[in-house]
Structure 1
Amino acid sequence: MSETTPEMQAAGAGSGPAGWAAYGAIVALGALLFTVSWRYPAEMPVIGPYEFSWPIYLTVALSVFWYLRGLARLAPGARPALWRRLAFAAGVLLIWIAVQTGYEYVAQRMFFLNRIQHVVMHHVGPVLIGLSMAGPVIVAGGPDWLGRVTRSRPVGAVMAVIQQPAVATILFVGLFYFWLIPPVHFVAMLDQRLYQVMNWSMVVDGILFWAMVLDTRPRPPASARFGVRAALSVAVMFPQIVLGALITFATTDIFPYYAYCGRYFPGIDAVTDQQIGGIIIWIPPAMMSAIGLLVVLGNMRRAEVKV
């Protein structure tokens, strides 16, 4: 993500009474959602969690709170454009819908709905968050320790490795392939802990990859040149097209988990379910790559004008 400027670091010390009150409200809302999810699931609103997760809830709630507080703390000229703020809101909302609402229930019972879930987690949501350039705003609105952690040497060393272009590409494509190896997918969908690892890996890897690719800055301080980032947008497209085509044209049921658990739409057979899922793997990620390429080229043109 983009560099934190001195204006963005002016978020200052301590949360103050208002900050602690906000944290208390976040915890209280989480406790309410947990109670309703556990004791009264039929009363849960559609946008509420199907299976409440404290880690997911706190990650989303704190990110949104720190982002809003960061906007309030920044000077008007340091704030991101309105369209970037809307992109952040849309990206976070889409990821929340994918992993913490009733949609998760149906995504566990139809392959093509599961593919929509993963495309949102790995592509659409992270692309929107990458476009938002939200990192510096969240750091500006977060507590002091958050800024220290993001600027620490261990975090910098890890980011230097995982945002190497070759490593980032292998992780981005490899994770998408790995979780679709039929035996791995079967176990991951049944094992709750592995299921959470799968979902977290999709979201975190997607955000890290697209934040690097869509960074508006030249190198340095960005981790890769604009030409390399444009190449990455294209490079990740073709392996996913191949994977989508292989699944689309399969003539047997290669993901038996959905038959084992019972399909949400029994009128859609296994092969048809896979065909729709394969097309979802094939087309929307390719569209995200094309959008990413256009954004990178636009960022490169604007950087050249500034020079």
Structure 2
Amino acid sequence: MRVVLILLAAALPFAALAHVPEPAAPVASLWQWNLAPWLLALLAVSAAGYGLGLRRLWGQAGRGRGVSTWQAWAFATGWLAVVGALVSPLDPLGGRLFSAHMVQHELLMVVAAPLLVVGRPLATWTWALSPSQRRTVGRLFQVRGWASLWTTLTDPLVAWALHALVLWGWHIPGAFDAALENEALHILQHASFLVTALFFWWAVLGHDPRGRYGPGHSAAYLFTTMMHTAALGALLSLSPTAWYAPYIPRTAALGFDPVDDQQLGGLVMWVPAGMAYIVAALWVLGGMLTRTKA
């Protein structure tokens, strides 16, 4: 049976720019790194811009002013989480094991996104620009259309709904299968998970531009997100059949049962990812209590 599955995997057609190595490729290829130039360039620019901005900000205001040391470390840790998800050998492994793919997604959504938001990247990046460039960027952000779009996307309810829609939408078997087979869709999938997660965490961690929502609202959004992501994780974990057809030959070729692998991936979304939302909600409520006592 294993020989049949390996032959089926080898026969699957893939585009020349497929995101995942061919199913019949040697297991050793799983330990390759994703060194796509555009991805490395984006990561390098984001890190360099943050570092330069932080240096200029602290040079003028003093170390720890504007952006604290722990916030800078939060950004660095979040940046490394993105590298771990998209550049490390976890990336090719995610193309063959659903559980590894879920680890990728959770690294982006519940590790990298909140840490990057806590690091105050937008404010820090602007300090990497010259004073005249900062003024130009400031004027652009004040343009009515852009300001309205930004206010809408960072509204907690909108950010919550958008993130939930993207999460559930991409896990529909047809959409997930298409992303596994097409490089552009796979990039879009990961980008949409990260970007909507950034808006979500931006909103619930106290960056509501209208000031209409307090810590209690943020805790509610975190709790409900934990509930619906846990529901999706439970559906994946308790399903007796594999949802995603491309994984069946790929996972079997590595000697793993596709259903067991899917159930493990569901548990990753259900338990550790759910705990992240609970911890964040407690942190938000703890901050509220601290301010109340003060």
TM-score using structure 2 length = 0.79
- Does structure 1 residue 185 correspond to structure 2 residue 176? yes
1:270-291 Cα distance to aligned partner (Å, 9 max, x none) = 1100110010010122111112
- Does structure 1 residue 156 correspond to structure 2 residue 147? yes
TM-score using structure 1 length = 0.76
Query: 2:239 aligns to what?
Result: 250
Task: Kindly report which structure 2 residues correspond to 1:290-301, keeping only aligned pairs within 5 A, or say none.
Answer: 290-301=278-289
Task: Kindly report which structure 2 residues correspond to 1:1-307, keeping only aligned pairs within 5 A, or say none.
Answer: 49-54=33-38, 56-74=39-57, 75-76=61-62, 78-142=65-129, 144=133, 145-215=136-206, 222=211, 224-260=213-249, 262-263=250-251, 266-304=254-292
Shift of 1:64: 1.4
Shift of 1:303: 4.3
Shift of 1:200: 0.7
Whole-angstrom distance in 2 between the partners of 1:169 and 1:213: 9
Shift of 1:301: 3.4
Asked whether the equivalents of residues 110 and 264 of structure 1 are also in contact (C-alpha less than 8 Å), the reply is: no
Asked whether the equivalents of residues 98 and 121 of structure 1 are also in contact (C-alpha less than 8 Å), the reply is: yes
1:231-275 Cα distance to aligned partner (Å, 9 max, x none) = 111111101111111110111111111124x12872220110011
Q: Percent identity?
A: 26
Over 3 Å counting, the alpha-carbon distance change for 1:251 and 1:123 in structure 2 is: same
Whole-angstrom distance in 1 between the partners of 2:98 and 2:48: 34
Give structure 1 stretches of 5+ with no counterpart.
Answer: 1-45
The list of structure 1 runs, each at least 4 consecutive aligned residues, that deviate by more than 6 angstroms after superposition, is none
CA RMSD of aligned residues (A): 2.4
1:142-194 Cα distance to aligned partner (Å, 9 max, x none) = 35254444444333211221222322111112211111111110011111111
Asked whether the equivalents of residues 82 and 108 of structure 2 are also in contact (C-alpha less than 8 Å), the reply is: yes
Q: Which amino acid aligns with 1:57?
A: L
Q: Which amino acid aligns with 1:123?
A: V
Asked whether the equivalents of residues 160 and 223 of structure 1 are also in contact (C-alpha less than 8 Å), the reply is: no
Asked whether the equivalents of residues 127 and 288 of structure 1 are also in contact (C-alpha less than 8 Å), the reply is: no
Shift of 1:202: 0.8
Whole-angstrom distance in 1 between the partners of 2:195 and 2:212: 18
Whole-angstrom distance in 2 between the partners of 1:132 and 1:222: 20
Q: How many residues align?
A: 257
Match of 1:202, SS state, is helix
Whole-angstrom distance in 2 between the partners of 1:237 and 1:99: 24
